[in-house]
């Protein structure tokens, strides 16, 4: 089912400016009224190797990467050859062209830099082009860039050619360039852009792809999942971040490090992730809203301070940006394999909140919610998302982010309240009283420095004053009170608009359930299935702990069978559902993908269509049929 959409893939070597070129192109399209969505693929190396970014553009909202793409701009990989050899740029490496052909749709357009790439080096290229009706335009992008300015501006030449071939005006691109550059650099880029567009205009155009035209009702912003998390944290009053770099958590860490100091906050890059989470804990204890985070391996180190936050009842917000594991795994590839790690890591019973936002807006909102709950209930809250959502850009109404900031510290006592709070005769504040008045298990805290608020926050079990205790009755009372907080949080969440997003037919017989960043892809698949007459609906779950039992039960009771879509090899989310609900094992089927790439919508469509008949998995996915409870 193809609309008038363009899925533009720009390919080349890491370090060749693919990222910034694609971001600007996407932004120009957004500014001129289109809906855009980007998908990034890059290897774990700094320079060279095969990398690409897809920009999907349509006049309708786009929520996910598409099925394949229809416009390839293949730049040379300038790092494919040893720079010491006589020619810095080689042309025997045809990778940016060769590696990208499999997903190119029939009727698609190929522009490649004939200054750097030699199509004749690719076996069968011509035959394949003919078979699939590809329209191939070799252009000497390097030559044009060199003649008009500098060779590195090949990207700009490629964009100029793209615009001409898709009948897309140059103005939005030029405007963006003027915003970003000045002087000679700007001038050279503008000249290259125009020159390249003219060259492409003169060619005979055999394809019929055109950039769609659209219009937005309101001003748009192009944001990633990481942007959503960082801005959510800022708006919720987070002014302290501590971290250690690890892909892809680094994106949030960098953003906050760049903004917080200018907002009167503090950013700390420290020696390791244990320290990072411990610092966030220390700052939070001292009365500042703070955040730390990492990706799988670093999060493993954080399991100590995480448990300490649970026991000392100190608010702590952590971000886990997952990538493919185990261990260092595939650092730049996406996966949802850390679910159980995030839910259960650290010793003892877990008493934490875990959210898995499904898109950029939810990333913002659920980060704010994570702070609210952590500070109101004195426990850790984790936002888990993945490499996919961290880097995907999508347009969102800019107005969406125009919210009031909330620097509220949650349940703390004023000095006046402390003076009247429950005390031992000795003057020690009962920070961990067994039965705090509101019934939600939360014993309000004091902030170090306040008069009459002294207490000991201990990672050992403790009685109400905080002093270490191994008394069995006290232990049970404290444990029950801490666990009671989760029930109260569930109640609070149930009173609000649900974080679980339902989509599709009203009385569907077939369900698709997923969590986190697959949401948009699943929605797109559901729309196609519904259009084709299937009775299908989806539920994308964001609350992982405390688990949204009522929402999920209601959905599963409403369908006859359900496909659980997730990016890991062992079906961890399906396991969580069965564990939490103690049933449904006989209707839950799994569709798993764990090759490092996110789902494409057609994979879900085909899996649903094949549900009743044999093995519905596609080449890169795996199907696990329902078993029993």
Partner 1 sequence: MSFTPLHQHDDDSDREPTDREAFTPGIEPQATWCPGCGDFGVLKALKGAMGDLGYTPEEVLLVTGIGCSGKLSSYFESYGFHSIHGRSLPVARAAKLANPGLEVVAAGGDGDGYGIGGNHFIHTARENHDMTYIVFNNEIFGLTKGQTSPTSPMGHKSKTQPHGSAKAPIRPLSLSLVGGASYVARTAAVNPNQAQEILKEAIQHDGFAHVDFLTQCPTWNKDAKQYVPYVDVQQSDDYEFDHHDRREASEMMHDVEDALHEGEVLTGRFYHDPDRPSYQQEKREHGDVPEDPLAERYHDDDAEWERSYDLMDAHK
Considering the complex, state which of residue 306 and residue 529 has its C-beta at the smaller distance from partner 1: 306
Per CB under 8 A, the list member of 231, 299, 432, 573 interacting with partner 1 is 231
Which range touches partner 1 (CB under 8 A), out of 55-63, 237-245, 484-492, 525-533? 237-245
Applying CB under 8 A, among 412, 517, 521, 568 the residue interacting with partner 1 is 412
Residues 138 to 197: which contact partner 1 by CB under 8 A? Answer: none
Q: With contacts defined by CB under 8 A, name the span among 3-11, 446-454, 523-531, 583-591 that binds partner 1.
A: 446-454
- Within residues 201-230, the interface with partner 1 by CB under 8 A covers 219-223, 227
Q: Which residues contact 83 (CB under 8 A, 6 or more apart)?
A: none
Q: Which of 487, 513, 486 is nearest to 501 (CA)?
A: 513
Residues 363, 421: Cα–Cα separation, whole Å: 38
Is 281:305 a contact under the CB 8 Å cutoff?
Answer: yes
Q: How far is the CB of 199 from partner 1 (least distance, A)?
A: 32
Stretch in the footprint of partner 1 (CB under 8 A) among 56-64, 259-267, 518-526, 533-541 = 259-267
Structure tokens at 153: 């501006």
Nearest to 622 by CA among 586, 588, 600, 594: 594
Only one of the segments 123-131, 414-422, 504-512, 540-548 lies at the binding site for partner 1 (rule: CB under 8 A); that segment is: 414-422
Report if residue 536 touches partner 1, rule: CB under 8 A: no
Please, which of residues 456-475 interact with partner 1 by CB under 8 A?
456-460, 465-469
Residues of span 239-258 touching partner 1 by CB under 8 A = 239-240, 242
Q: In sequence order, what are the residues at sequence separation of 6 or more whose Cβ sits closer than 8 angstroms to the Cβ of residue 586?
A: 626, 627, 628, 629
Q: Does 549 bind partner 1 (CB under 8 A)?
A: no
3-state SS, residue 57: strand
CA distance 12 to 70: 17
Q: In whole angstroms, what separates CA 87 from the centre of its chain? A: 40
Q: Which is nearer to partner 1, 326 or 448 (CB)?
A: 448
> Least distance in Å: CB of 40 to partner 1?
17
Selected from 261, 326, 348, 625, the binder of partner 1 by CB under 8 A is 261
Where b means 16+ CB within 10 Å and e means fewer, 66-101 reads: bbbbbbbbbbbbbbbbeeeeeeebbbebbbbbbbbb
93 binds partner 1, rule: CB under 8 A: no
Q: Which is nearer to partner 1, 31 or 95 (CB)?
A: 31
Considering only residues 175, 424, 550, 629, which one is a binding residue for partner 1 as defined by CB under 8 A?
424
Count of alpha carbons within 13 angstroms of residue 462, beta-carbon side: 20
Output 203 or 263, the one with its CB closest to partner 1.
263
User: What are 193's two structure tokens?
Assistant: 């852009």
- Other CB atoms within a 10 A radius of the CB of residue 252 amount to 29
Q: Which residues pair with 135 in a beta bridge?
A: 109
| Residue 194 beta carbon to partner 1: minimum distance, rounded to whole angstroms | 25
* Residue 31 vs 388, nearer CB to partner 1: 31
One character per residue 23-62, x = contact with partner 1 (rule: CB under 8 A): --------x-------------------------------
Q: Write the CA distances from 108 to 9, 51, 129, 410, integer angstroms.
A: 11, 20, 9, 55
> Which helix (H) or strand (E) covers residue 497, if one does?
none
3-state class (DSSP) for residue 588: strand
Q: Which helix (H) or strand (E) segment is 343 a member of?
A: helix 339-344
Contacts of 75 (CB under 8 A, 6+ apart): 10, 11, 12, 16, 18, 96, 113, 116, 141, 154, 155, 158
Task: Kindly identify the residues of this chain, within the stretch 267-306, that bind partner 1 according to CB under 8 A.
Answer: 267-268, 270-272, 274-276, 278-283, 285-290, 304-305
**Would you say 112 or 385 has its CB closer to partner 1?**
385
What is the 3-class SS of 284-313, one letter each residue?
Answer: HHCCCCEEEEECHHHHHHCHHHHHHHHHHC
Q: Binding marks (x or -) toward partner 1, 336..375, rule CB under 8 A? A: ----------------------------x-----------
What CA–CA distance (Å, rounded) separates 424 from 60? 64
C-alpha span between 394 and 223 (Å, rounded): 6
Task: Scan residues 602-621 and list those touching partner 1 (CB under 8 A).
Answer: none
Q: Pick the closer one to partner 1 by CB: 78 or 412.
A: 412
**Residue nearer to partner 1 on the CB measure, 419 or 550:** 419
120 is an interface residue for partner 1 by CB under 8 A? no
In the complex, minimum distance from the CB of residue 215 to partner 1, in angstroms, rounded to a whole number: 16
Residue of the chain from 266, 300, 587, 626 that contacts partner 1 (CB under 8 A): 266
């Amino acid at each position: 089912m193809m609309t008038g959409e363009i899925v533009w893939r720009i390919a080349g070597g890491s370090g060749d400016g693919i990222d910034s070129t694609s971001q600007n192109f996407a932004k120009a399209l957004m500014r001129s009224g289109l809906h855009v969505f980007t998908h990034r693929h890059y290897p774990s190396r700094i320079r060279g190797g095969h990398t690409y970014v897809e920009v999907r553009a349509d006049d309708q909202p786009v929520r996910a990467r598409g099925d394949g793409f229809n416009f390839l701009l293949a730049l040379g990989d300038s790092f494919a050859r040893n720079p010491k050899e006589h020619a810095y740029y080689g042309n025997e490496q045809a990778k940016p062209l060769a590696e990208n052909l499999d997903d190119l749709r029939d009727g698609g357009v190929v522009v490649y830099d004939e200054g750097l790439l030699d199509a004749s080096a690719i076996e069968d290229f011509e035959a394949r082009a003919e078979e699939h009706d590809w329209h191939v335009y070799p252009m000497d992008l390097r030559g044009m860039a060199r003649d008009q300015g500098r060779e590195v501006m090949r990207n700009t030449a490629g964009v100029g050619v793209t615009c001409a071939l898709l009948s897309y005006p140059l103005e939005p691109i030029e405007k963006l360039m003027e915003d970003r550059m000045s002087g000679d650099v700007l001038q050279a880029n503008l000249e290259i852009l125009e020159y390249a567009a003219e060259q492409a205009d003169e060619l005979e155009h055999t394809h019929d792809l055109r950039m769609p035209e659209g219009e937005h009702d309101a001003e748009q912003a192009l944001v990633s999942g990481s942007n959503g998390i960082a801005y959510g944290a800022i708006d919720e009053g987070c002014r302290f971040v501590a971290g250690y770099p690890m892909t892809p958590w680094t994106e949030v860490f960098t953003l906050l490090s760049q903004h917080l100091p200018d907002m009167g906050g503090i950013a700390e890059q420290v020696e390791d992730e244990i320290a990072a989470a411990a610092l966030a804990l220390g700052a939070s204890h001292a009365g500042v809203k703070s955040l730390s985070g990492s990706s799988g391996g670093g999060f493993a180190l954080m399991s100590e301070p995480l448990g300490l936050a649970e026991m000392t009842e100190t608010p702590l917000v952590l971000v886990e940006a997952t990538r493919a594991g185990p261990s260092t795994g595939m650092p730049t590839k996406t996966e949802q394999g850390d679910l159980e790690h995030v839910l259960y890591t650290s010793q003892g019973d877990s008493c934490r909140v875990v959210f898995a936002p499904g898109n950029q807006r939810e990333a913002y909102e659920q980060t704010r919610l994570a702070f609210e709950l952590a500070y109101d209930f004195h426990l850790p809250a984790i936002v888990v998302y993945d490499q996919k959502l961290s880097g995907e850009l999508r347009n969102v109404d800019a107005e969406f982010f125009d919210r009031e900031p909330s620097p509220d510290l949650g349940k703390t006592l004023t000095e006046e309240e402390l003076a009247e709070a429950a005390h031992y005769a000795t003057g020690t504040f009962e920070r961990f009283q067994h039965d705090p008045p509101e019934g939600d298990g939360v014993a309000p805290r004091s902030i170090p420095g306040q008069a009459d608020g002294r207490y000991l926050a201990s990672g050992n079990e403790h009685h109400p004053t905080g002093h270490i205790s191994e008394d069995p009755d006290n232990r049970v009372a404290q444990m029950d009170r801490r666990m009671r907080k989760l029930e109260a949080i569930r109640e609070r969440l149930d009173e609000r608009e649900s974080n679980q997003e339902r989509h599709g037919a009203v009385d569907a017989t077939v369900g698709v359930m997923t969590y986190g960043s697959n949401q948009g892809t699943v929605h797109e698949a559901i729309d196609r299935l519904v259009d084709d007459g299937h009775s299908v609906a989806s539920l994308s779950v964001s609350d992982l702990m405390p688990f949204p039992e009522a929402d999920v039960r209601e959905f599963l009771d409403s369908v006859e069978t359900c496909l659980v879509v997730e990016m890991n090899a062992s079906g961890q989310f399906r396991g969580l559902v069965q564990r939490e609900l103690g049933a449904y094992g006989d209707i839950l089927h799994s569709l798993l993908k764990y090759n490092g790439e996110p789902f494409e919508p057609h994979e879900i469509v085909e899996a649903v269509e094949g549900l009743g008949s044999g093995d519905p998995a596609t080449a890169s996915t795996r199907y696990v049929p329902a078993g029993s409870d």
